[in-house]
Amino acid sequence: MEKEMLVVAKFKEGEGKFEKFMGFMQSPEGLAERQKVAVVEKTIGSVTPDKSTVMFKIFCTDEAALNKFIEGTEVSKPIMDDVMQSYTIYDLTKVKGRIIYEKLHGNTHI
């Protein structure tokens, strides 16, 4: 079952964090990891003008795997530890034509 979710991620300060993150997310390894947690073809992404924060609306198929992916799997941990400062995951629920969200999980990397 697919569940609509919003993931908001803030990058650590420094040059090239967004580019490094997106390079991984679009690589064959990154795509393979993403396919374990969501329907990649339905993902909608955006970035702030200063490239310090990204948002992804996803159709999650495995919430536990999503949390593990962001925290760092064997494949994703090196990149996430390098670029990710914090993230928040929201559950998006449609109620009578309005989207309501519930903050599910967030973490700050130090």
Q: What whole-number distance in Å separates Cα of residue 12 and Cα of residue 39? A: 27
Q: Check pLDDT > 90 for residue 40.
A: yes
pLDDT in tens, 56-99: 999 999 999 998 999 888 999 999 999 999 999 998 876 555 65
Domains of the chain: which residue ranges? 3-108
What's the CATH class of domain 3-108? alpha beta
